[in-house]
Amino acid sequence: MAGSIGILTAGGDSPGLNAAIRAIGKSAIRAHGMNVVGFLDGFRGLMQNRYVRLDEDALSGILTIGGTILGTSRDKPHRMTVGDERMDMTGVMLDHASLLGLDALVAIGGGGTQKNVLRLSGRGLPIITLPKTIDNDVWGTDTTVGFDTALTIATEAVDRLHSTAHSHHRIIVVEIMGHNAGWLTLGAGLAGGADVILIPEIPYHLDRVATSISSRKASGRTFSIVAVAEGSRPVEYRIHQQELRDRIAATVGSDRDLAERTLAQLRAGALSHTTNLARSLEELTGLEARVTILGHVQRGGTPSSVDRNLATVLGTAATRFIADGVVDRMVAVHNNELLGVPIDEVAGRRKIVPPDHPWIRSARCTGVTFGD
């Protein structure tokens, strides 16, 4: 099949993006005779018609490079900042895709990207998406590009923190990325031997966490590692947060901008959660506590072999789907098989850690506390 396709990366960066771009581009050119362009900085590049030709030379040597050679952004097609206004630029993007003669667009992104592309596919632009996010929370796929690398980085950090925690008889609270899903914290905590794992899916009781650490202290284990996800919160906070959300919904009404600003303020107020947790545990246990926030180091660097292979398999499948006329699908992995999941089934849904997941059951059996 001859023709042209476009590629863009959207949302947060993630290890393995360049491996995916390479796989899509090379398979499109070699296996299907397609022309390939890459839009710069996500949907904004499509809106501004900023793109580069992706030929064999452009795709050479990028397999092991972190980040994305195309750049990325969190812009939404229907609410894009243009000057001082937010505007629906969906029509402009469709026009640019038409002018370039694109047969399909391949968008590599997380949950937000799956929602954003619906506005384009719903108006006639054929789209294939690839799931990527270090949070592993895209619904409909067993795993996402970037998760394995981030998990390895976070696990190594937990490993390294054991020695200083043991030497100084401290509580080390390590914050790991994950606002809404605890896959990364759970996996790193379990693999790294954390004593406490706190994830968004399981609101915790501070006193129960402190009691567990105090019990370790009483038995002669005078240090503890607490792996905490960004979005984990105590039970009391969750109740208070829901009350605030209900109040916002009642008072803000249809003013979505005001609602988003108000929620942003709530999130900003929660940024000190990990520090407050460490301070509280110090007071309740009598052990000195220190905080380590891994932050964006989890997103960076060379992707693992697992992520490179995953990105390559998903990317080559994407061009095969397009060549076969199968579009408006996310290329997913389920039980080691590749599937094309309808994007409208994925959009707006999130894969969170189920309470009976084997990792949780195994952690509990080995003495890990979740604070519930």
Q: What angle do CA 234, 351, 198 make, to 5 degrees?
A: 25
144 close to 350: Cβ distance less than 8 angstroms: no
CA–CA gap between residue 7 and residue 38 (Å, rounded):
5
Angle separating helix axes 17-32 and 305-323, nearest 10 degrees: 40
124 close to 94: Cβ distance less than 8 angstroms: yes
Catalytic residues: 135
Q: Is 208 helix (H, G, I), strand (E, B) or coil?
A: helix
For CA atoms 302, 305, 311, 315, give the dihedral sign.
positive
CA–CA gap between residue 206 and residue 280 (Å, rounded):
8
144 close to 341: Cβ distance less than 8 angstroms: no
229 close to 247: Cβ distance less than 8 angstroms: no
Size of the chain in residues: 372
225 close to 194: Cβ distance less than 8 angstroms: yes
